[in-house]
Structure 1
């Protein structure tokens, strides 16, 4: 079993020169157990290019701008921000960096489309979408009210869109986008090919695993967990033949030496989770709602102790695992019922 490494709190983090024209700046996420996002800066003749930007909060902005300054970098000289995915702890400050420096913002086209959709949607439309999604999953009315909370402001829309294999505008370096969907549809890792380093965003983290969910929960036209596991295999194949490993520079926790080994561990974790879920469903003769399945699964604390928002995320993850089993022909969704229900198929 992998030995656990103690996650250092934000107060113990410091900006670092990682060598080879790469720096890291820890940026706090207020009120979040993750603690911080590691924002990276990559040297460029036109000014540094940031990988992610951190949460949109005054304390985070002070940490980002001050951290860059402590490394001899000026936020007003940032040339660009490439966002690994649209979540607020990664994209939140990108707009403020652009305002301060005139930098471009780039992200994968799939996440860019989601950002535009979030900007266009009125709050009332989002509330109606979320409440109906929760009801169809089997949450009772009181749970629907509890789960629905405030949402962060959408991130700034990007100026540039990336596709798999595109090189980021980084003069003198080779920083290539690697599409790794799962955590979000447009999540990307960034391979610094001239240094054999991989900025992994949330795709591969050293100790925890990223949230993989389906929204709305009952979609049957996508398989984000299947996509995620294929993406894990893909990053494991990036290691050149002449090397044993590629160093991973993740957005949370700490830098670690072997992205392929950790990707294989995460894949194994999800395979075991799918096996357990299939066995649980096989023990129940009646079809179950997504909410009932989520309550049966193992989380980092008992279901009844989860905060309402975390129950909503757990249901999204349960839905993704059910969808993966459905895609493999191991469970079926019952047609013509509301809320949607799933049942194990005979082996």
Structure 2
């Protein structure tokens, strides 16, 4: 799963809000094409892969999920612009989630094109390619137990999917990226590390054409999940907010997200995300003050989830796990701001308000 669908962010009101997921190649700028690839069984429905034309073939930004349906859609998509899968010369991946990375690995096995990934993803890739059995997002179990959600942790463990690197499409990339610039599609891409969604997330800014390939860092209609990855990040929301501030210093660019339609203004969406998290921090701070000293689970149960403000008990197991993780991420920011304190009691972490 790539993003948190529980946010209170603005949503399109029309019946065709999922039109962007339909199998149609869209030229979003001269020589730049959006190709949505299906994600069977996932509520996100699709992930956008971007193909950049250049004299010797194509550069892809993101690779998609290693599913037969996605590979077939990508093949049709590149054929629509007069190319073949053999035309792909390189794949730049925004982060190491399955819907962005694993099809790139499958294509590399078949055709040999190199893959580049953010250097911050090393720890997760090492875990995912290990000979030891690793559960996807296994770091979440420890968070759940520290939050007082032992029952939920046991359920998550019982449903955990264990990674098989050979069949699931996990391998080390050819190149680790950590900033700088890359020539691609007849233009220069600025590589911007944006940790938060994952510790090694990247965005690619095409300043010449006024485009931001934002991966899952900035999405037009939903709020990215924070720190949902194989190896946990320290205070991922702190990193995410700093990354939003960094992207806000770039020129206002057209937003080319991994999930959702192209949007006109990166600045507008960044501002909306910052406002959302400011409100959520205030809400969680109030819940801590009201409850007194408690672990994260009771705090999460005080909050409304999704734009419909659903109770925690109305969420499925996966989204309950996300809700607890999001609550902890916000509590970490409040601790760093001096508004909340934490205290360990056995395996639990207890939170309380700091008196003014």
Among 319, 338, 342, the alignment partner of 2:347 is 338
- In structure 2, the partner of 1:271 is 278
- Cα RMSD of the aligned pairs, angstroms, is 2.4
- Asked if the contact 1:331–1:343 (Cα under 8 Å) also holds between the matched residues in 2, the reply is yes
Among 235, 241, 264, the alignment partner of 1:257 is 264
Structure 1: give runs of 5+ residues left out of the alignment: 240-244
- Please report how far the alpha carbon of residue 312 of structure 1 lies from its aligned counterpart in structure 2 after TM superposition: 1.3
1:100 equivalenced with 2:110 (yes/no)? yes
In structure 2, C-alpha distance between the alignment counterparts of 1:156 and 1:62, rounded to whole Å: 21
1:247 equivalenced with 2:254 (yes/no)? yes
Among 183, 186, 210, the alignment partner of 2:224 is 210
- In structure 1, the partner of 2:6 is none
Q: Within 5 Å, which residues of 2 pair with 1:18-37?
A: 18-37=28-47
- Asked if the contact 1:94–1:156 (Cα under 8 Å) also holds between the matched residues in 2, the reply is no
SS in 2 for 1:33: coil
Distance 1:320 1:202, change over 3 A: same
1:289 equivalenced with 2:295 (yes/no)? yes
1:150 equivalenced with 2:158 (yes/no)? no
Among 190, 200, 208, the alignment partner of 1:194 is 208
- Please report how far the alpha carbon of residue 273 of structure 1 lies from its aligned counterpart in structure 2 after TM superposition: 0.3
Superposition TM-score, scaled by structure 2 size: 0.87
In structure 2, C-alpha distance between the alignment counterparts of 1:60 and 1:191, rounded to whole Å: 25
Cα deviation per residue 1:91-126 (whole Å; 9 max; x = unaligned)? 120112212321110011011332122211622688
Moved more, 29-38 or 127-136: 127-136
- In structure 1, the partner of 2:189 is 175
In structure 1, C-alpha distance between the alignment counterparts of 2:136 and 2:27, rounded to whole Å: 42
In structure 2, C-alpha distance between the alignment counterparts of 1:255 and 1:104, rounded to whole Å: 27
- Please report how far the alpha carbon of residue 237 of structure 1 lies from its aligned counterpart in structure 2 after TM superposition: 1.5
Distance 1:223 1:145, change over 3 A: closer
- Asked if the contact 1:9–1:35 (Cα under 8 Å) also holds between the matched residues in 2, the reply is no
> Greater strand percent: which structure?
2
Distance 1:266 1:130, change over 3 A: closer
Distance 1:266 1:112, change over 3 A: same
1:222 equivalenced with 2:229 (yes/no)? no
Moved more, 67-76 or 262-271: 67-76
Moved more, 7-16 or 306-315: 7-16
Q: Within 5 Å, which residues of 2 pair with 1:70-89?
A: 70-89=80-99
- Asked if the contact 1:94–1:155 (Cα under 8 Å) also holds between the matched residues in 2, the reply is no
Among 326, 329, 352, the alignment partner of 1:320 is 329
In structure 2, C-alpha distance between the alignment counterparts of 1:270 and 1:121, rounded to whole Å: 38
Distance 1:83 1:298, change over 3 A: same
In structure 1, C-alpha distance between the alignment counterparts of 2:223 and 2:181, rounded to whole Å: 27
Among 215, 231, 246, the alignment partner of 1:234 is 246
In structure 2, C-alpha distance between the alignment counterparts of 1:89 and 1:308, rounded to whole Å: 20
- In structure 2, the partner of 1:242 is none
Q: Within 5 Å, which residues of 2 pair with 1:47-62?
A: 47-62=57-72
Distance 1:132 1:104, change over 3 A: same
In structure 2, C-alpha distance between the alignment counterparts of 1:134 and 1:33, rounded to whole Å: 23
Moved more, 247-256 or 208-217: 208-217
Structure 2: give runs of 5+ residues left out of the alignment: 1-8
In structure 2, C-alpha distance between the alignment counterparts of 1:251 and 1:128, rounded to whole Å: 24
- Asked if the contact 2:128–2:230 (Cα under 8 Å) also holds between the matched residues in 1, the reply is no
Distance 1:268 1:132, change over 3 A: closer
- In structure 2, the partner of 1:4 is 12
